[in-house]
Amino acid sequence: METIESPLLEIKASGESIYTFLSDCNNHKLLMPEGIESFAATTDTCSYSIKGTGNLALKVEERTPNSQIKLLPTGKVPFSFEFFWLIESNGENCKVQNKIIAKMNPFIKALAQKPLQNFITEQALNLQKYYHNK
Chain centroid to CA 55 = 15
Residue 88, CB-side half-sphere exposure with 13 Å CA sphere: 7
Check if the beta carbon of residue 121 is closer than 8 Å to that of residue 19. no
Nearest Cα neighbor of 98 from 78, 76, 73, 126 is 126
Instruction: Return d(Cα 103, Cα 74) in angstroms, integer.
Output: 15
Amino acid 35: pLDDT: 84
Amino acid 134: pLDDT: 72
Q: Give 72-90 pLDDT, tens digit per residue.
A: 999 888 899 999 999 999 8
Domain span including residue 95: 2-133
Would you say residue 5 has pLDDT above 90?
Answer: yes
pTM (predicted TM-score): 0.92
Would you say residue 53 has pLDDT above 90?
Answer: no
Would you say residue 117 has pLDDT above 90?
Answer: yes
124: domain CATH number is 3.30.530.20
Instruction: Return d(Cα 131, Cα 8) in angstroms, integer.
Output: 15
Check if the beta carbon of residue 102 is closer than 8 Å to that of residue 4. yes
Check if the beta carbon of residue 129 is closer than 8 Å to that of residue 30. no
Task: Give the total number of structural domains in the chain.
Answer: 1
What angle, rounded to 10 degrees, do the helices at 106-133 and 15-23 form?
A: 120
β-strand 80-90 against 2-5: which pairing, if any? Answer: unpaired
Would you say residue 27 has pLDDT above 90?
Answer: yes
Amino acid 57: pLDDT: 94
Amino acid 90: pLDDT: 86
Amino acid 76: pLDDT: 86
Mean pLDDT of 11-29: 96
